[in-house]
Structure 1
Amino acid sequence: MDRTFENPQNGHRESFSDSAWLWSLLFGWIYLLAVGLWGHVFIQIFIVVVCALVGGGPAVVLVTPILWIVYAASINTILANRYLRQGWREVQPGSVAGTGLESDSSRQARLGLQTPAQAASTAPAMPVATPPAGPAPFVADELVKLADLRDKGVLTPDEFTAQKARLLAGGPSVAPAVQPAAAPAQPSGVVAYGRCSKCEAQVRLDATSCPNCTAAFNEWSTWKILRPGE
């Protein structure tokens, strides 16, 4: 299984295998150079040189395999510590970049679960509800009309409240029938007819001339309409 480390600054990731110990044991310094552990290569060279100076060739032959075995046993820890010292963090393979958390798709694949898209494709189709026929009432427009009728005095406040409650409950509003304005009644005691002062014929009080003698009734004429009692 690989171990993965992520740079939190840019999300870059690097991994190394748990079998790194095998490659270190087989290739020794060459593997350390390949993974960039230059410092550890210099340490091994320094130890070998010291052993050669102190014990000669037999000491080098003895120490070199020991160094390879020690580094093979600790190479995974050395590699992990190198990333951790640089501020990197270990994350799960397949996790979301920048979080260190395992992604949903990776976790579902690991557990053998279906993804939401797969579940939706295999789910039975649900029946689609058919909306009721007929246009929906424009409640806002009806309320504006009711308020206008109330402001004009056609609706009383109680009638407006009742109509509004009926409309909000889903029922149609019922506009009151507007009765036509009644013609103004004639004042009591007023007679619509009088007499011509020239021929005594009956004429309307609002007439401008007599239909019988054609006498004109205006401010310049000597003739006029005589009211009852005159």
Structure 2
Amino acid sequence: MAKIVILTGAGISAESGIRTFRASDGLWEEHRIEDVATPEGFVQDPELVHRFYNARRAAATAAQPNPAHIALAELEADPGHEVLIVTQNVDDLHERGGSQNVLHMHGTLFGALCHSCEHRWPAPEVMSPTDSCPSCSAQATRPDIVWFGEMPYRMEEIWHALRAADLFVSIGTSGNVYPAAGFVADAMHAGVPTLELNLEPSAGRSMFDEARHGPASVLVPQWVRERLG
């Protein structure tokens, strides 16, 4: 059985209509990243942050999985492949596309986190600074999103899976955000073959054994068909 670790980034969700995180002008949905994607921004203006993520949650709910999401689920369902999807995305399009073995290293829009006691629970459709934690009752509810300056989730598990893989595939990611941008180097040092499927060459393109460039909704189904033969 082939063990495949797949990293996915904003490029795979962009084709479902979800705007990418980084814009060339440093804005995300008309907001400075520092204001809506850092712990300091949350402390300064929790109402703005909740309003921002409520809108992102609504947009993610309205979006639909595209052929790339569906193809990866088909690969996972094949008995000859053991697939782990490590996603930088905070939407649930992989799961709704049929994938089950998905690890959200940057958290999810559909989770809530207590800033006080770190209790986690499913996020309601609309969150507010006045929401109380169901565990400690503190009004310290925030989205369960990994912001800049915070450590991504389950890194030890990811590194272990990556080094034990038979193939590492990076899909729809710029290669600029660490630690995910370092996965290809780690795979290379472990002797794991690597493949990039991206709209354009990523920052780490030179480290990949093979790279194909174009829309994920085209490249990923093509690659999966090749794997399934």
TM-score (norm 2): 0.23
More strand as a share of residues:
2
TM-score (norm 1): 0.23
Larger Rg: 1
More helix as a share of residues:
1
